[in-house]
Amino acid sequence: MNVEGDAKHPDSSLQFLTNKAVVTLQVKENFLHVRCLKKLNPFDPRPFSSFHCNIYLCDILSTATSESEWKVHSKVESLNTANIGSLLHSTASQCKLLLVHIAVKSKGSLWKLQTLKFRCKNTRQCSAWSTYLNENITTSLGRRSVSRPKSLLVFVNPYGGKHKAVDIHKHIVTPIFNKAGIRQLVVVTEYQNHAKEYLKTADLGKIDGIIAVGGDGMANEIINGVLIQVQEKNNISLDKPPADLSEACPSFVRPSIRIGVIPAGSTNCLSYVSQGFDDPETAALHIALGAEHNLDLSSIHDRNGAFQRFSFSMTSFGFYGNVLKLSERMRGLGPSRYDVAGIHSFLHQCSYNMKVWYLPSDTPVDIANDRTKCRYPCNTCCLDKLSDFEQTMSNGDVCSKPSPILSGPINTNFFNNAVHYEVNSNSEDGSQITLGAKITSQTECFESTKSCDNANGNNKWQVTEGKFLMINSALMSCACSRCPQGLSPSAHLADGNTDLILVRNCSRADFVRYMFSHVGKANRFRFPFVEVYRVKGFRCEMPIASSSVTCEQIDIKQTESECSRTSSCWNTDGELVPDPNIHVWVHKGLIKLFAKGIDQK
Ligand SMILES: Nc1ncnc2c1ncn2[C@@H]1O[C@H](COP(=O)(O)OP(=O)(O)OP(=O)(O)O)[C@@H](O)[C@H]1O
């Protein structure tokens, strides 16, 4: 025991005063152990052990000291304090306060910031404890390969959601980042695509991550801005040859910086799916603690091979495309614009002739009956990483390795009339399909192209056609507060696949039943007009736009020609892609997200 103590080895018998007890501190095996010596309230029936606590060092944001008064709560003072002994005898004198800022898991997947206060009369020892704890936190993070950000570029969208982003940033995010010692360069966006333009020339070498304080649209803008800059710097073309099934999956360079989202938009799907809530405090804490999760992206090209966007959640044609198009004109209504636009699009129900090609996943799953969910640590998202780490990780515990805040660790229904066949080497496209990915040397290409590389697989492109109310691609479950299970509840964040959901033309009543199945836990794939495939890529073609649209109407007069004039578009993460003819490829783990994933229940 070190009585006087020094910066390296502070005195472990040193007594600290909290609001409820006199305690000692000890650091052992990645934990700060707080042990109770005396209860301040002698009449408290709880045992001493209930005052003990063990704090995981990786959950501590930082520690600090400040000057304070040597005092206890007045209620405690009025009690019999003889039990506390000499510690309290010299009341009202000055002392040092040791502050320990920690991220605490509260209910569900919510996390809260909490500050523990320890009063100590030995000011030198108290400072020594603060230094010692900070050193041990750094060591502990190093052991677990956790890298916390020190410098972040933060985009705040004052326009998104309920227009609360500026307040959220000021009152929730900044205090957490300050406690974690994170420097921020804050840009309050002034117009649409401001962040994307800014990122074209931003020096990404000087920052550890980029944060969007906004919704999915803002996150999409930032992801696109970063990826476009990184591809340009590496001379990687974003465009590809015109849509052709023989074309290999394009390969893109994976940015080394992480991207985070503080939910302040309308839907906040990315936060919901990667954290379990759209809670700004939880999101800010995950960023500060250095949480990391891979995220699949899809690249979208038009019929001429021109690059359109990268997407991370839903890419949808038909109903959701119409809802977005309309809702963009009603921004003044705030988040309720989606309801109004949804009702309007429903009343103007249109179906679209489409031909859809898709390349099935290497690991086929009966999505319609799959009850598994992407939960931390997720075997499906981590499985492929085993090969990357197998030389260094003999126990295969890859998923838990980067745990920064670990406290404690197709078959389908076919539509009766569906035209459904396999594309072979003598297909109308006339080409043998070989999908060897082009691996770009000298770059951190990661596994992003693996998912499309079917050189070792027997997968062949499949094709189906017909009239569709909706064509949805769910790269993740796409859960949000309005649809807690999401479009495809068993979809994963980083498995290299997307779930292609084809909703064929059906009666209005059936469509309502299908849409309502998203509100609860009912199986949304049980309908005969709904098909779902886990795929690595897909392509859609609308034969002749003007004659491809059929509209129904209830009380709003609308002719077929009117409807075709307003033919649908793609809605990708809440952004519009106007050309109905697109080619979509999935890129496994193309970016790293500041997120942990949703905990197992
Ligand atoms: N100052 C601004 N004025 C107008 N538009 C802006 C401004 N700043 C950002 N934007 C645009 O606002 C759009 C929507 O932003 P955001 O995603 O944050 O909110 P949301 O659409 O309400 O939420 P969600 O996408 O989750 O439904 C983005 O495309 C972004 O480019």
Separation in Å, CA 438 to CA 86, 226, 230, 252, 543:
74, 21, 17, 9, 31
Query: Any idea which residue has 């704890």 for tokens?
Result: 133
Domain boundaries, the chain: 16-143, 165-384+412-593
Report which ligand 1 atom has the smallest distance to the Cα of 214: 18
pLDDT number for residue 378:
86
Q: Does residue 490 sit in helix, strand or coil?
A: coil
pLDDT number for residue 437:
28
Report which ligand 1 atom has the smallest distance to the Cα of 192: 31
Domain 165-384+412-593, CATH among 3.40.50.1220, 1.25.40.10, 2.60.200.40, 2.40.10.220: 2.60.200.40
pLDDT number for residue 447:
29
Ligand 1 pocket test, pick from 155, 156, 157 with the greatest ligand atom count within 8 Å of Cβ, gives 157
d(CA 168, CA 166): 6
pLDDT per residue over 40-90, tens digit each? Answer: 777 788 887 788 889 999 999 999 998 877 666 555 555 555 455 555 544
Q: Does residue 119 sit in helix, strand or coil?
A: strand
- Give me ligand 1 centre to Cα 315, in Å: 17
Helix axes 508-516, 337-347, angle to 10 degrees: 150
CB distance 86 to 38 below 8 Å: no
d(CA 263, CA 121): 42
pLDDT number for residue 18:
87
pLDDT number for residue 63:
95
d(CA 493, CA 29): 32
Q: Which of 216, 278, 302, 453 is catalytic?
A: 216
Closest-CA residue to 518 (of 492, 479, 491): 479
d(CA 568, CA 316): 10
Report which ligand 1 atom has the smallest distance to the Cα of 264: 18
CB distance 54 to 33 below 8 Å: yes
Cα–chain-centroid distance for residue 198?
22
The string of DSSP letters for 544-578 reads -GGGSEEE--SSS---HHHHHHT---EEETTEEE-
The string of DSSP letters for 357-399 reads EEEE-SS---GGG------BSPHHHHTTHHHHHTTT-TT--TT
- Give me ligand 1 centre to Cα 250, in Å: 29
CB distance 501 to 530 below 8 Å: yes
Ligand 1 pocket test, pick from 192, 268, 333 with the greatest ligand atom count within 8 Å of Cβ, gives 192
Closest-CA residue to 208 (of 151, 259, 146): 151
d(CA 313, CA 297): 8
- Give me ligand 1 centre to Cα 160, in Å: 4
**The total number of residues written for the chain in this structure:** 601
d(CA 317, CA 584): 13
- Give me ligand 1 centre to Cα 468, in Å: 29
Question: Low-confidence residues of the chain, pLDDT below 70?
Answer: 1-9, 70-93, 243-247, 331, 382-458, 544-566, 601
Cβ-in-10-Å burial (0-12, 13-18, 19+) of 235 comes to exposed
CB distance 289 to 405 below 8 Å: yes
Cα–chain-centroid distance for residue 228?
20
317-354 as b/e: b if 16+ CB within 10 A? bbbbbbbbbbbeeeeeeeeebbeebbeebbebbbbbbb
Q: Going by CATH, does the domain composed of 16-143 fall within 1.10.20?
A: no
CB distance 33 to 57 below 8 Å: no
Report which ligand 1 atom has the smallest distance to the Cα of 161: 22
Q: Is the ipTM reported for this complex over the cut 0.95?
A: yes
Residue 203 catalytic?
no
pLDDT number for residue 393:
25
Residue with CA at minimum distance from ligand 1 atom 5: 192
Q: Provide the residue type at 489 as one letter.
A: P
Closest-CA residue to 397 (of 408, 409, 405): 409
Q: For 348, which DSSP code?
A: T
pLDDT number for residue 475:
95
Q: Which long-range contacts (CB under 8 A, 24 or more apart) does 321-324 make?
A: 321/568, 321/569, 321/570, 321/571, 321/576, 322/348, 322/350, 322/566, 322/568, 322/569, 323/571, 324/569, 324/571, 324/574, 324/575, 324/576
pLDDT number for residue 385:
46
pLDDT per residue over 355-385, tens digit each? Answer: 999 999 988 788 888 888 898 888 888 644 4
Residue with CA at minimum distance from ligand 1 atom 29: 217
Residue with CA at minimum distance from ligand 1 atom 4: 191
d(CA 448, CA 296): 8
The string of DSSP letters for 401-448 reads TT-SS-------PPPTT-EEEE--TTSTT-S-------PPTTS--TTT
d(CA 137, CA 63): 10
- Give me ligand 1 centre to Cα 190, in Å: 10
Ligand 1 proximal residues by C-beta, below 6 Å? 157-161, 189-194, 214-218, 221, 265-268, 574
Interacting residues of 193 by C-beta distance below 8 A, sequence separation 6+ = 221
Ligand 1 pocket test, pick from 199, 218, 575 with the greatest ligand atom count within 8 Å of Cβ, gives 218
Q: Which residues pair with 36 in a beta bridge?
A: 23
pLDDT number for residue 243:
63
> Could you tell me whether strands 183-188 and 151-156 are parallel, antiparallel, or unpaired per DSSP bridges?
parallel
Interacting residues of 528 by C-beta distance below 8 A, sequence separation 6+ = 413, 414, 415, 416
Interacting residues of 227 by C-beta distance below 8 A, sequence separation 6+ = 252, 255, 297, 310, 590, 591
Q: Provide the residue type at 481 as one letter.
A: S
- Give me ligand 1 centre to Cα 218, in Å: 6
CB distance 200 to 225 below 8 Å: yes
- Give me ligand 1 centre to Cα 391, in Å: 44
